[in-house]
Amino acid sequence: MRIISDGSLGIITVWQEAEGEDLRGKTMVAEVIQERARRSGKSVGEVVLKLKQFSEWNENDPRSIRSLLLDDEDPAVQECAAAWYAASEGSQHAKGATHYHAAHVRPWWADKMTEVARHGNHVFYVEA
Q: What is the pLDDT of residues 49-70, one digit of tens each?
A: 998 888 888 877 777 777 878 8
Q: What mean pLDDT comes out for the span 9-14?
A: 94
What's the pLDDT at 77? 93
Q: What mean pLDDT comes out for the span 32-45?
A: 96
Helix (H/G/I), strand (E/B), else coil: 62:
helix
Q: What mean pLDDT comes out for the span 3-17?
A: 88
Helices in the chain by DSSP H: which ranges?
6-18, 23-40, 44-48, 62-67, 75-88
What's the pLDDT at 3? 63
- Tell me which CATH homologous superfamily contains domain 6-91: Cell wall hydrolase SleB, domain 1 (1.10.10.2520)
Whether the Cβ atoms of residue 48 and residue 54 lie closer than 8 Å to each other: yes
Could you tell me the residue ranges of all domains in the chain? 6-91
Indicate the burial class of 34 (C-beta count within 10 angstroms; 0-12, 13-18, 19 or more): buried
Q: Is the pTM of this model over 0.75?
A: yes
d(CA 108, CA 66): 29
